[in-house]
Every structure is written in C-alpha cells, then in structure tokens.
Chain A
Amino acid sequence: MANSSKKSILHDIGPLREKTSYGQVRGPQPGYPGPYSGPQNYGGPAQAPGPAAQKRLDPDAIPSPIQVIEDDKAKSTEPFTTGVRGQAPPLVTTTFSVRDQGNASPRFVRCTAYNMPCTADMAKQSQVPLAAVIKPLAILPPDETPPYVVDHGEPGPIRCNRCKAYMCPYMQFIEGGRRFQCGFCSCVTEVPPHYFQHLDHTGKRVDCYDRPELSLGSYEFLATVDYCKNNKLPQPPAFIFLIDVSYNAVKSGMVNIVCQELKTLLDYLPRENPEADSVVRVGFVTYNKVLHFYNVKGSLAQPQMLVVSDVSDMFVPLLDGFLVNVNESRQVIESLLDQIPDMFADTRETETVFGPVIQAGLEALKAADCAGKLFIFHTSLPIAEAPGKLKNREDKKLVGTDKEKSLFQPQGSFYNTLAKDCVAQGCCVDLFLFPNQYVDMTTLGVVPVSTGGSVYKYTYFQAATDQERFLNDLRRDVEKPMGFDAVMRVRTSTGIRATDFFGSFFMSNTTDVELAGLDCDKAITVEFKHDDKLSEDTGALMQCAVLYTSCSGQRRLRVHNMAVNCCSQLADLYRNCETDTIINYFSKFAFRGVLNHPTKTVRDTLVNQCAQILACYRKNCASPSSAGQLILPECMKLLPVYLNCVLKSDVLLPAADVSLDDRAYLRQFISSMDVTETHVFFYPQLLPLTNLDSSSLPVAIRASEERLSKGGVYILETGLHLFLWVGASVQQELLQNLFGTPSFSQIDASMTSLPVLDNPFSKRLREIISNFRAQRPRYMKLMVVKQEDHSELIFRHFLVEDKSASGGASYVDFLCHMHKEIRQLLS
C-alpha cells in the first residue's frame, strides 16, 4: 500500500481549496435560505434549490466516488499482506489478492478505523464509529487458500485460562515456551505438554510457521465433544423443503417450478469433499391451511402423504422416512416431486398458515436431533386459524408519522418466541416469498432474520419472467457453504469491548451471537466501545471465534484475528478510516433505529453524527483556513455522498409507490450485508457501454442523469437490480448488435435477458452481465429501460446523485447542507 502518498494529500484535497470552483459555497450562501434553514426541512419535498444555485456549484468539482474508486484501483497493484498492523486494505471495489500474515483477510473482517483512538474521550470527540464488519464464512477467490483446519486433539483447542481466547499469533510465549501470555487479557497460561515447543532467539516458537494458529489471521480448530450440544457429537444437518400449495402458489407456477428444480438441485446439496455425496438429509412438506408431510423412505414404492390438520398444536407425524438420504430415496423423491403439482393442480384453498409451518420443520429437526435449514416457499398473509395468524395492518397513512415505527415491529410475540426455539435447535429458516399483496414482511421475516436465514421476495411472481431469478437464487441458496447451530463470540484486548451487534442472528445474552445458520454471504457488524485506555504499543486486538457444525456434521471453530493500531492523535484516526465500512455501520444502525424511533429522527441523527465527524476533523486536524471552506479528510471525502444515499433509501425516505413490505424486506436484507454489498447497494455501479473491446470493464460513471448520453447504452447494477438503459438516439448498428433490431421502438422492454447474437459486442455485454450476476449473492433480473419510457422512473430512482422523487436531496445539495451543519457545529 502506497503509504507515501498520504502526506501529499493530507487533510484535504486540492479542488476544494480552489476558490474559483468553490467560492460561492463559502460565505453566507444566499441561494439556500429556505430549504436548508434547518435539518427538519431537509428531508421534505425538494423545494427546488433553483437553477441558479446549481449553476454555481460544478458537480465535477465535488468529490467523485468514481475518481476515488479508480485511484484506489490504480494504487493497489501488489497483493495486500495482512502482517502490518493498522494498515487499511484496498477498497471493496478494487480487485486485489490477499496474503494472510497474521491478521484476518479484509474479505473476512473490515474495520471502520484501522487506527483506533486510545481513549474513550477521543472516540467520543471524533464520533467516528468503531466497528468491524465480519463475514466469518466468506468464500475466498480460488487463488487464496481457505482457512486451515487445526486439530489440537482430545483436550481441544488451546485457550487462555482467563478470557478463553483461542491460541493465535498474539499469544506471547515466555519462560522458554512453557507458558504463554494472552494478548487480550495478559493472563499467563501453562502450555500443555503435548503442545510444548522451544523458542528461538527472538522469542518465537520454532514451529511458528508450521502452525496456522501461530502464524495466520484466520484458521479453524476441530472442536471436541465439549463444544457440542448435550456433549454429543452432532448429526449431519438436514434440509427441509416446505412448499405452499394454496391457490396462488399453484396458479403462479411456483409449485411446479420448485418441484421441477428440486429434482436436480438435490444433487448439489452442500458438501465439503466434492468427490463424496452430501450427507445432508432432506425432507418435504407441502401446506395450505393444513400441512402435508411426506414419507419418502427408499423402500417404498410410492411416497406417502401424511396430513396434519391439527395446526394449533404442531407435531411431526413420522420420524423414519421423513428425513432421508437423497441417494437412498431418489426414486421416491422424484416420484413425489412429479406428483405434487398434479395433486394440487385443482386446489381452491386460498388460506395459508405460517407459524405451524416453521413449527413443523422445527419439530422434525428436534425429532431427528439435528440442526438444519428450512426452505419455505410461501405466497400470502397467513390468515387461516392457527398460531401465528396475522391480520392485514398495512396502513400507508402511518408513513412519515411517529407511529411509523410500529410497522417495523412484528405483530405479537409469537414469532419471536418461535425464533428463540428455532435458534435453540439450530433450525435456520430461509423464506422465499411470492406475494401478490401485503404479507406483513416484518412479521414473516422475524424467524428468518433471527435464525441467520435469508428472505427472498418475488412480488407478483410470474413464471415466465421471474423463474430465472428465482431458480438461480434457490440454487445458490441450496448449494452455498454454510455452518449450522453456530455461536459467535468476539473477544477484544483490554480497553475496548464489543458492545453491539447488527445482522441476522439471535442473542440471549450480551456476548454470544447465536446463529441457527450462518452462510457464506452473511456478515455481522460489531460495534466496539472503550471501557478503558488502549495503548499505542500493543494496539487493539480482536478475535472472532465462530463455533459451528459444518455441512458434513463436523463441529468446528473458525477463528479470525484482527489487530489495529491505536493513536493518541485524532489525525491518525482520520487518516486510517474506511468510509465504505462506516456507511455499512451507519446503514445498519439507522435501519435498526427505525424500529424504535420515527424515521425522521433517525435521519437527523445520521446527519448530525456525520457532521460531527467532519467538524471534529476540521477543528482538530485540518490546517486553519477560512471558516467557509469545506475541508474533508481524504479517507472520508465520500462520506457525504454515500450518507446521502443511505438517507434517501426506501427504508428511510420511501417514495409513494414503495410498499411497506418492500421497506421491511430491505431493512432486514441490509442487516446482514457485508461492505461490498452495501457499497454497491447505496451507490450503484453505472457503466457506459460504448467501447467494450478491452478485457477490462469500462470505467464507471457517476450515478446522475446528466452523465447519461442520449446516444449511449448504460448498465446499472445495485446487487439487487440490473438495468440496461438505452438512449433514444442510439446508433442503429449498436441496437442491431445488442437486440437484433435496428429500431429503438422495436426493442422489447419486457425482456429479461439479452438475445444471444453472434457479435463481439453482444457477447461481451452478456459476459459482463453474467459476471455481475456471479459476483452478487442475489441473482439480478435484467430490466431493459428505454429512454423516456415509463419504466425510466424506476431506473432514475437509482441515479443517486440526483434528487429523488421521494424528496431526497441531490449530492450537490446535500453537500451544501452538510457544509452548513459543520459550520454550525464549528461556530
């Protein structure tokens, strides 16, 4: 990492200092008296700042995300080595490789600050959040080795006697190797005889480089019986597929698609050894108002259906034959999956249950004494008489009022209690929703969110257009590596403490993050607070240990270690921050805040904290200059633009057409996102497709309508959405190459994939799209947007530097507003 460049751009950046381009912003700002007089007006309908104001501030002159991203890409040519404490990794948008030299790879752990303030006072003064985003089971690129598995034998992993931290590179061996001193709590622990090794002249163990736990940042321990539930080695996990077969589910084609797909999908159940068959057992349930369990025992000629209508008091009607090994029961399972669509083809049942469905899966796992995952394919608000019955409480009138928060709180406590039971059993719930109307996402999502599961939502699902997206999501969800019945614990060195956690999990106490399931896409954001002083010498250490059951039924501990520097100068802090991670933290913090506070309060808090961060910098670190000048720290110069995107998101500032379910869905979804995902989600990637000759991607442009050219074709990607914007006056040749038609008007905007045409441009574009899709955890449906078509409204929503239809400020306006806030704080 080119640390040398730091000094040259210290404090602030050139263009902002140029009076020529920024002069008007300084001073009393006569152009913004009304709309920005106070934060309370900020979020209101954009009272046009007036063309005059816009002219005065050149968008090109304010910090450009594209510029920062491209600069970082250019800078990061060397592999990133993790050995140096306190070094910030390349941005998430940069492609780089990692060498683990004692700290966890940024793919596993990213911090908001790599140089933490030594004292609580400093931290409070700066207001910079101290947090880490941890993605414990992240998948590494093929050229990086996954964490090694260490077996310490019968007595289990070696740990500090006092704080129970696991053996790691921060343990200091003393007394010739007979004891070690814990880097976290300084307690001295005897080295067990079987682990003894001599030290070399530098005090390092001779076998240091032979042992991953002494030389690497991330590794795994094989857990012993002591780390298992009931002191019993775990059974291999099970997958249970629970399919809604009510009228809507059948009519939309969902049932048919799921059943067809499952037949092939069963060959791709997760496994650790690609050669061997998966040991994950599977079970099948269909339901509407009642539940149908299936006996698919291999010895049967035909599957058997067992109907349980007693939904008020759920139980599993069978043990043997419900959870089966795919290979042993393949014929019966296929026969079942062939017959399910036929059996319910003529159903007229429209009511569904939901609570009992989860209970059924949970009871089945309990009966089989194993952990596992439920895949629930559900369509509608569960209004049938049963526990967990919900009523329609959609009330748009509440939006924007103080009562809005109640919409984000689940109905009743049934699902919370159920979630707790699920977590206790290691029952992770993934929910695939196919709603045609309000389904109370908030409440339905409680169990998935608390059990480390995911929610997938396909509103107005139609087989023809949504099948591809759904199937790809389903495939990935089934195949992806995951751990079951997991507990995560973050230990830190004396002086700081993990105080808050954000993500999809359940906590029954203040330290243990319980995850019924933890897959490779789930990230947990951990916030740290000072409870004492840190020292610049030792820095701050943290160790994240995740105890989980692998898909082959092995109990393991994955350990990620991270060391950061500590500073007594605020300037050092501001120099080593990572804005993308801060935004990840802010968004999760804010999205949780809407549960308990009016959204407006939440937005104000965010703006306020951001202003404080920047004001503190200005006050303490920047070289003195005119009060009217906006000076941003190099690492945080994108903070305003990104924060504006968070503030404008559907959750915090919904447009009129955004449903409550959508907001709840996003809120829950973002809570488990890692930094890469939140980055692209809040600031979408917009690529011009003019020249696709080179093997690298074209350089992105800023997400603003004025950057689009009538004659161009652009692709926009958010991790959830994928748009292809076609200008009204694109050359015929390009259209011919792309769509096979020379006429703009003949482009079929309803297509979800590009026609396969044999020309380099088409090939390359399709390749780019498929690359995008491969990178993201969710499959993105392609939407073709023709300029000035009505669908452009949706597209414009993602041009985040512009004003939004819901009243969100443009980048320029927000920056001005932020500047004003800072100045107020400083004065």
Chain B
Amino acid sequence: MTTYQEFIQQNEDRDGVRFSWNLWPSSRLEATRLVVPVSCLFTPLKERPDLPPVQYEPVLCSRANCKAQVDFRAKIWACNFCFQRNPFPPSYAGISEVNQPAELMPQFSTIEYIVQRGPTAPLIFLYVVDTCLEEEDLQALKESLQMSLSLLPPNALVGLITFGRMVQVHELSCEGIAKSYVFRGTKDLNSKQIQEMLGLTKPTAQGQPGRPAAPQDAASTCRFLQPVHRVDMNLTDLLGELQRDPWPVPQGKRPLRSTGVALSVAVGLLEGTFPNTGARVMLFIGGPPTQGPGMVVGDELKTPIRSWHDIQKDNARHLKKATKYYEALANRSAVNGHSIDIYACALDQTGLLEMKCLSNLTGGHIVMGDSFNTSLFKQTFQRVFSKDLNGDFRMAFGGVLEVKTSRELKVSGAIGPCVSLNAKGSCVSENEMGIGGTTQWKVCGLNPSTTLGLYFEVVNQHNAPIPQGGRGAIQFVTQYQHSNTQRRIRVTTIARNWADAQSQIQLIESSFDQEAAAVLMARLGVFRAESEEGPDVLRWLDRQLIRLCQKFGQFNKDDPTSFRLSESLSLYPQFMFHLRRSPFLQVFNNSPDESSYYRHHFVRQDLTQSLIMIQPILYSYSFYGPPEPVLLDSGSILPDKILLMDTFFQLVIYHGETIAQWRKAGYQDMAEYENFKQLLQAPLDDAQEILQTRFPMPRYVDTEHGGSQARFLLSKVNPSQTHNNLYAWGQETGAPILTDDVSLQVFMDHLKKLAVSTFF
C-alpha cells in the first residue's frame, strides 16, 4: 500500500495532475461542506520524455456530443462518460488480451496522439519593438533580437514591427531598399483597414463575404512574415540599422510611444494572414504607451503614471479605456490562436496593469526588468527559446483544453492563461469558479510548465448513493500545435474513488493534498483580487480557512488550546498566512505593474513554483553543518549565517552581521580561511543553479545585514520578533523586523480562537 504522498507524486509525474482531494465526496451537499472544492492543478504539456506519441488517430465515442476517448472492453467498448456502447473500428480487429493498443494499458492514462490531418503551418514570431529607448538599451535589445534569430528553426516565419511616434511594419522580402509600412500612432484602425493598408487583401477576394481571408498567395502574405533562413541577413541588417525614434522629445515630455496601435497592427497582420496558426507576438517596450488608443499616461512628465493610490481614488483617467482596448485586442488575438509576450524593461512602470490581459488571455509571457541591458532580460529572453531533449522548443501553440467528466461531476471553471471557448455541454456547472460556463478553453501559448487550476462540482444528489467501488472519471483532452508544427492531441484520463463523507470522513481528510489545495485556493483568491477590493478577498480567504479548520480540526468547543489539525492539513494555515502577506494580494509597496506581473506568473506556474511564490524557501549556510532549509522567520536571521531566499521572483543572498564583517575584512582572500571562502561560495553556487533554470530569471540580490536590499528578505519572513515584542531585544535569536504586521503565532492564535468559537 502506497501512501497518499507517493500516490500524489506518481499522479503528478505521470499525468501532471494534483487534486485537492484524492477521494471524492459522493454527494453535492458533502462536497460543499468540505470548503475546498474538488479541484486540480493540471499541467497539460508536462514533459514526459518516456511517453512516445502514437501515430494514429484516437478512437472517439460515437455519440457526437461526447467524443471521449476511452477504455476498451472486448470488441465493444462502453464510454465511461456517457455510457454509450461503441464498436471498435476495423483497425482494432486484432486486439486481444495480449495485444492491446496503448490506450488500454493502465500506465497510459496519459497518451499523446499525432494528428496527420490538415496542413502543418510553420511557427511565427512577430517582433514588436519600441524604439523610444535609450541608445544603450536599444543596442542591447537589438543584440538580443539578433541572437534570437539564430535560435529559431530555419523555416519559422519572422516579422518585425517597430514603433515610436509612428508604427512601422517592415517588409522583409525586398531586395535593396528596405521597405516598411507606416501607421500613425494615434489612429485606431480596425483589422480590415490594417490589412488593406498593408496590401494584404486582394480586391478580387472580397467577393466572397463570410469567408475569412484564408492565407492567400504567398507573395503578399509573406512580405512581412518570412522564413528565417531566407531573410536572416536582411533582418540582421535591418535590426542593425534600427535607430532610436527620430522625433524630437521636448523638455519635460515623455517620448510619444504608440504601443496600442503597434499591437493592433501586429494582431491585425496575423489575423489577416495566419488565423488559427501558432504565432507569438513579442512586444518589447521601454516605457508606457503615451499616445493613441491604449494610452496609459500622457506625454507630460509632470503627470506621473497611475499608482495604486490613484486607482483606488478613481484618479487614473486612462486606466479603463486602455484596459478595455487591450482586452479587445487580446480577445481577438486569442480567437486566432496567437499569443502575445510582453518584455517590459524600464525603471518606471510601463503600463503592464493595462496590458497584462494581452499575455494573460493568450498564454504569452510577461517579463519585467529594469533595462534591456541586464542579464535578467537577456537570459530570460534566451530561455524563451530553450529546447527539449528532442531539440524542439519548449512551447506549443493554439492549445484547446477540453474537460470531460463522468456524470456525477461537472466542471465549474478554470484559472490560468486561457480564454473560454464557450463550449456548452452537459458537464458544465452552473456554479462558476474562475473562467467558467464552458468545457473548452483556449490556451494560445503553452509550455511544459503551464498549469491551469480546474474546479469541479460534485452534482450527485445525497439521496442517490454511488455504488460501492464506483469511480468518478475526468478526461482532459488537449489539442495543440507542437513546436515542430505537428498537430497533437494529448489525452489524460484520471479516475478517483468516491467516498461517503459521513462514514469515511477520515479517509477523505487523509486524501487532502494541502499543497495543491493552498495553490488552488490562492488562485481563486488572486482571481477575485483582479476584480474585487483587497480587504474583501482577504476576508473571504480567512473565512474559508476558518471553516476548513472547523470542519477538520479536533478541538473542544471554546477551548483554543485544544485545537489540533491532522498531518494532512497541518501546513495549510501557514500557507494561508504567507499568502495573505504576498504581493499577490497585498498591493502595498508594489506598483500596479508589479502586482500585475506577480499575479500573471502566479496563475500559470506549476505547483512547486507556486508554493515558492506563496511561501518563499529559505536556506541557511553556516560552519556548523551542511546547508539546511530553515523557517521563513525572523528568527532565522542570525549573525553567523548566510541565508539564501528564493521567492521565485527574487533570489536573495543575505550575509549575517558577523559574516558580513568578515567578508568586509577580506578573510576570504586569505589562504588560512579557505573554509570561509567556501562558505561564501556555497550559496552562490546554489543560487546559480536556480538562476540557470528558472523562467523568468529572478532578480538576483546579494546583500548583507543592514544593507538596503535586505528589505527583500525582511519583508518576507514571518515577523516573529518586531519592535513591538520587546522581550526579544538583545537576544541572540534572530533579528527584529520593524513592522506592525502580525506574526504567524498571532495569526494562528487568532485562527484557533475563531475555529473553536461557537459563534462563528
């Protein structure tokens, strides 16, 4: 008998699925009483080097509205989801107990099919480059872009749009004179106008209304999107000659940056030429949009860009309009399966708050940095083009995720970088959580770590018990364009046992996956935070936590000290404590852009990374032993320790007071203190390891006791010692934090009190 830990791990490794509950309560009523919904984190494209894709078409259930691919029995099989009996197709004539197709083997609960139908389209990369940059920044960006060309597969199509005051679409096929089409940065054009102005619509083709202009003759579409191998030199030259926006910027003004129109042109271009084909629009910006549609801030430097303060006071005059504009663009882009990346490098805000939907809805990346001339940007950008063992990009396009459930379950919604496809079906729950009301979601850009949170509702009525040994089944069907241009379908089918919550509550409790649950609840919280006031969200989270504790805690009424939680729930309150303090829910000290950036990554990373984001990891290095993980607590900050904190976004190396003094004195350079040198080196090496793999590359901070950058650490740790609980002063245990935030201890005490209270 394996433990739940092992079971969960195995499931995650094989199917990329982590459920909040691994035994499902068998009735709707009981399910709602469990507080945390039946839900899962699903990583559709989890890397499975051991999983060979099969080369044939999946067998579908013949009932048209079901189409589930399922398990087989004899020559007739019954659909697990709609119970339709289906005969096997002729190609399966030879199956027997010993000769089974892969679908029928238990280890293939996840299987990937390669679809041979349809033409394969090359990958498309459309660079949209801001030229209102400092010379140094532009130079660095140009180098990065040129570098990226060498990473693209030769047949990939590339395009280039540059913008400043004007928007230029560069034609890449031409010899001699470099041609570009110019758009005014202040004029909102619809897709048709853009395509007409780019000469993409043939007057003769307009005769067939209704039919979207299919990729017509190659000559006209390809002028702007050309195979890399053909225009490599051209494009390199073009990038080389790229100048800063030549329009003068008067004193006291921001450069005029037409980001909105540039994106609209990019979306319109792809829409007209390659609809429903995998494409990435890569937007590089060095500042906020300052003119035209999508403008975030005016060009007067004396009016600063909106802050949370302004937004709360409803004082951000461009916010709503710009957001609406970018949302419309994002939706258009999503419909066509094109994803939009934003690489924003500037010291001030660049309008990510308004533009975040571009990436959030289309599965694009957001990368935020101080300058294009930093390793943070350069390496992150390079990592976008990282390849797997087969030499294919770790990215997929135009994904459609469909969820099928057996009849006791319905799907409530999804949270992740996706948009609803509005596919109504029998398994759509009326109770929406996240993006609901559908069984299909479009995920335009996918990579192996893209993880969606999916929420379900048990709909089985209390008075219709499920027979003993009954299993609920969920099937995830992910259709996507692989980076080698193949169309593929990955099918993951999972089943879980039903349990009667009244008689088997202990079993259900032990099947609780508190890590997954924490992340899934956090996603719900973050999803709410996008539309609700911060305090409301916190209150909601608190209430959920208290209710969970009441349900599963063991306590005597009104006796907080008697409160106990079982092992499977023990860490959960702590996660919630840190979540409450995280930048995903707290906007204090973060700009609107930063908040958007953090949230963007939170709702798409897998469980491990998400947990790091909620509760950063802290390692301690000392002479007294090997590096060890320590509590994220101010008590861990000791003078003779070096700390390494990983918050996902930052990697902080903190030298304790004594260590810092030694380092300043230069002991590490003396031969006799070789071990000190090694101690200093150890966290650096570990940090390096993380830096190598993390996407986006974290901000790397090397600081020490009393250093200004130490704030990164101090703001994260549990303030167990503050200036308020003075008794700790002068003791050798940790460092006090100057904060009024409550510590974990206070939080827990409070929680216990409320949980045992009869009145709550």
- Determine whether the beta carbon of B187 is less than 8 Å from that of A304: no
| Chain B nearest CB, measured from A221 CB (Å) | 34
**Does residue A52 face the partner (Cβ distance < 8 Å to B)?**
no
- Determine whether the beta carbon of A308 is less than 8 Å from that of B178: no
Residues of B within 8 A of A303 (CB): 177-178
- Determine whether the beta carbon of A304 is less than 8 Å from that of B196: no
Say yes or no: A309-B181 contact (C-beta < 8 A), given A317-B166, A318-B246: yes
| Chain A nearest CB, measured from B604 CB (Å) | 37
Q: Which residue of B lies closest to A292 (CB)?
A: B179
Contact with A along B13-38 (1 / 0, CB 8 A): 00000000000000000000000000
Say yes or no: A305-B177 contact (C-beta < 8 A), given A293-B182, A313-B184: yes
Contact of A309 among B171, B197, B243 (CB under 8 A): B197
Taken together as a complex, chains A and B put the C-alpha atoms of A313 and B261 apart, in Å, by: 15
Residues of A within 8 A of B184 (CB): 310, 313, 315
- Determine whether the beta carbon of B182 is less than 8 Å from that of A307: yes
Residues of B within 8 A of A305 (CB): 177-180
Taken together as a complex, chains A and B put the C-alpha atoms of A310 and B168 apart, in Å, by: 12
- Determine whether the beta carbon of A302 is less than 8 Å from that of B182: no
Contact of A319 among B176, B178, B197, B246 (CB under 8 A): B246
**Does residue B353 face the partner (Cβ distance < 8 Å to A)?**
no
**Does residue A151 face the partner (Cβ distance < 8 Å to B)?**
no
Q: Which residues of B line the A interface, CB within 8 A?
A: 166, 168, 171, 176-184, 187, 189, 196-199, 237, 241, 243, 246-248
Contact with B along A320-335 (1 / 0, CB 8 A): 1100000000000000
Say yes or no: A302-B198 contact (C-beta < 8 A), given A313-B184, A315-B184: no
Taken together as a complex, chains A and B put the C-alpha atoms of A336 and B177 apart, in Å, by: 8
**Does residue A656 face the partner (Cβ distance < 8 Å to B)?**
no
Taken together as a complex, chains A and B put the C-alpha atoms of A526 and B158 apart, in Å, by: 64
Residues of B within 8 A of A343 (CB): 176-177
**Does residue A339 face the partner (Cβ distance < 8 Å to B)?**
yes
Instruction: Identify 26 residue pairs between A and B in the complex whose beta-carbon atoms are under 8 Å apart, listed by A's number.
Output: A290-B197, A294-B177, A301-B237, A302-B176, A302-B178, A303-B177, A303-B178, A304-B178, A304-B179, A304-B180, A305-B177, A306-B168, A306-B180, A307-B179, A309-B196, A309-B199, A310-B183, A310-B187, A310-B189, A310-B197, A313-B187, A317-B166, A317-B182, A318-B166, A319-B246, A339-B177
- Determine whether the beta carbon of B246 is less than 8 Å from that of A320: yes
Say yes or no: A304-B246 contact (C-beta < 8 A), given A309-B199, A317-B168, A317-B182: no
Q: Which of B182, B189, B247 has the most CB of A within 10 A?
A: B182
Residues of B within 8 A of A300 (CB): 241
- Determine whether the beta carbon of A321 is less than 8 Å from that of B182: no
Q: Which residues of A line the B interface, CB within 8 A?
A: 290, 292-294, 300-310, 313, 315, 317-321, 336, 339, 342-343
Q: Which residue of A lies closest to B178 (CB)?
A: A304
Q: Which residue of B lies closest to A293 (CB)?
A: B182
Taken together as a complex, chains A and B put the C-alpha atoms of A675 and B716 apart, in Å, by: 92
Residues of A within 8 A of B248 (CB): 319
Taken together as a complex, chains A and B put the C-alpha atoms of A290 and B196 apart, in Å, by: 11
Residues of B within 8 A of A309 (CB): 181, 196-199
Residues of A within 8 A of B180 (CB): 304-307
Residues of A within 8 A of B181 (CB): 306-309
- Determine whether the beta carbon of A319 is less than 8 Å from that of B241: no
Residues of A within 8 A of B199 (CB): 290, 309
Residues of A within 8 A of B246 (CB): 318-321
| Chain B nearest CB, measured from A384 CB (Å) | 12
Q: Which residue of B lies closest to A315 (CB)?
A: B184
Residues of B within 8 A of A306 (CB): 168, 179-182
- Determine whether the beta carbon of A308 is less than 8 Å from that of B182: yes
Q: Which residue of A lies closest to B184 (CB)?
A: A315
Q: Which residue of A lies closest to B176 (CB)?
A: A339
Q: Which residue of B lies closest to A303 (CB)?
A: B177
| Chain A nearest CB, measured from B264 CB (Å) | 13
Taken together as a complex, chains A and B put the C-alpha atoms of A315 and B291 apart, in Å, by: 15
Taken together as a complex, chains A and B put the C-alpha atoms of A517 and B81 apart, in Å, by: 83
| Chain A nearest CB, measured from B233 CB (Å) | 13
Dominant SS among interface residues on chain B: mixed
| Chain B nearest CB, measured from A172 CB (Å) | 52
Residues of B within 8 A of A319 (CB): 246-248
Taken together as a complex, chains A and B put the C-alpha atoms of A293 and B7 apart, in Å, by: 67
- Which 6 A/B pairs are nearest by Cβ-Cβ distance? A309-B197, A317-B182, A320-B246, A305-B179, A307-B181, A304-B178
| Chain B nearest CB, measured from A66 CB (Å) | 58
Taken together as a complex, chains A and B put the C-alpha atoms of A292 and B180 apart, in Å, by: 9
Taken together as a complex, chains A and B put the C-alpha atoms of A534 and B182 apart, in Å, by: 62
Question: Knowing that A294-B177, A313-B184, A315-B184 are A-B contacts, what are 10 other residue pairs whose CB atoms are under 8 Å apart, sorted by A's residue number?
Answer: A301-B237, A302-B177, A304-B177, A304-B179, A309-B196, A309-B199, A310-B189, A318-B166, A320-B246, A343-B177
Residues of B within 8 A of A302 (CB): 176-178
Q: Which of B177, B187, B197 has the most CB of A within 10 A?
A: B177
Taken together as a complex, chains A and B put the C-alpha atoms of A318 and B245 apart, in Å, by: 9
Taken together as a complex, chains A and B put the C-alpha atoms of A307 and B174 apart, in Å, by: 13
- Determine whether the beta carbon of B241 is less than 8 Å from that of A301: yes
| Chain A nearest CB, measured from B514 CB (Å) | 58
Residues of A within 8 A of B197 (CB): 290, 309-310
Q: Which residue of B lies closest to A340 (CB)?
A: B177
| Chain A nearest CB, measured from B272 CB (Å) | 13
Taken together as a complex, chains A and B put the C-alpha atoms of A307 and B187 apart, in Å, by: 16
Taken together as a complex, chains A and B put the C-alpha atoms of A320 and B165 apart, in Å, by: 13
Residues of B within 8 A of A342 (CB): 176
Q: Which residue of B lies closest to A342 (CB)?
A: B176
Q: Which of B171, B178, B199 has the most CB of A within 10 A?
A: B178
Q: Which residue of B lies closest to A321 (CB)?
A: B246
| Chain B nearest CB, measured from A323 CB (Å) | 12
Q: Which residue of A lies closest to B246 (CB)?
A: A320
| Chain B nearest CB, measured from A162 CB (Å) | 42
Residues of A within 8 A of B177 (CB): 294, 302-305, 336, 339, 343
Q: Which residue of B lies closest to A289 (CB)?
A: B199
Q: Which residue of A lies closest to B167 (CB)?
A: A317
Taken together as a complex, chains A and B put the C-alpha atoms of A339 and B196 apart, in Å, by: 25
Taken together as a complex, chains A and B put the C-alpha atoms of A188 and B477 apart, in Å, by: 99
Taken together as a complex, chains A and B put the C-alpha atoms of A300 and B243 apart, in Å, by: 10
| Chain B nearest CB, measured from A485 CB (Å) | 23
Taken together as a complex, chains A and B put the C-alpha atoms of A280 and B197 apart, in Å, by: 33
Q: Which residue of A lies closest to B182 (CB)?
A: A317
Residues of B within 8 A of A290 (CB): 197, 199
Residues of B within 8 A of A294 (CB): 177
Q: Which residue of B lies closest to A309 (CB)?
A: B197
Residues of B within 8 A of A315 (CB): 166, 184
Taken together as a complex, chains A and B put the C-alpha atoms of A307 and B176 apart, in Å, by: 15
Taken together as a complex, chains A and B put the C-alpha atoms of A307 and B248 apart, in Å, by: 21
| Chain A nearest CB, measured from B138 CB (Å) | 15
Residues of A within 8 A of B247 (CB): 319
Taken together as a complex, chains A and B put the C-alpha atoms of A623 and B178 apart, in Å, by: 81
| Chain A nearest CB, measured from B184 CB (Å) | 5
Residues of B within 8 A of A304 (CB): 177-180, 241
Taken together as a complex, chains A and B put the C-alpha atoms of A476 and B183 apart, in Å, by: 37
Taken together as a complex, chains A and B put the C-alpha atoms of A318 and B197 apart, in Å, by: 18
Residues of B within 8 A of A293 (CB): 182
Taken together as a complex, chains A and B put the C-alpha atoms of A309 and B189 apart, in Å, by: 12
| Chain A nearest CB, measured from B161 CB (Å) | 13
Residues of A within 8 A of B176 (CB): 302, 339, 342-343
| Chain A nearest CB, measured from B192 CB (Å) | 13
Residues of A within 8 A of B243 (CB): 320
| Chain B nearest CB, measured from A340 CB (Å) | 9
Residues of A within 8 A of B198 (CB): 309
| Chain A nearest CB, measured from B352 CB (Å) | 28
Taken together as a complex, chains A and B put the C-alpha atoms of A305 and B248 apart, in Å, by: 21
| Chain A nearest CB, measured from B57 CB (Å) | 45
Taken together as a complex, chains A and B put the C-alpha atoms of A157 and B408 apart, in Å, by: 99
Q: Which residue of A lies closest to B170 (CB)?
A: A304
Taken together as a complex, chains A and B put the C-alpha atoms of A773 and B177 apart, in Å, by: 39
| Chain B nearest CB, measured from A164 CB (Å) | 37
Taken together as a complex, chains A and B put the C-alpha atoms of A294 and B178 apart, in Å, by: 10
| Chain B nearest CB, measured from A362 CB (Å) | 16
| Chain A nearest CB, measured from B467 CB (Å) | 68
